[in-house]
Amino acid sequence: MDKTEKRCPRCGSSFTCNHSDTAHCQCSGVRLSDSARSYLAAHYKDCLCRRCLDEIAEIYA
């Protein structure tokens, strides 16, 4: 499996990204609305940590 240590561009925390096996990645299970996905695409070019994804999912629910 291809795990990568990353730093969240939103909050600066470090996390492990498992982009080669998304079913077992820290972002697995986050449900994002279309507006949340649009916001993420417009503002970030890389993965965010689970906490930030959960916060954005709630804001754009």
Q: How far apart, in whole angstroms, are the C-alpha atoms of residue 35 and residue 19?
A: 23
Give the pLDDT confidence of 6-48 residue by residue, as tens digits.
999 999 999 999 888 888 888 889 999 999 999 999 999 999 9
Is residue 16 within 8 A of residue 22, CB to CB? The reply is no
Q: Do 6 and 25 touch, CB atoms closer than 8 A?
A: no
Q: Is beta strand 14-17 parallel, antiparallel or unpaired with respect to 4-7?
A: antiparallel
| pLDDT (average), residues 40-58 | 96
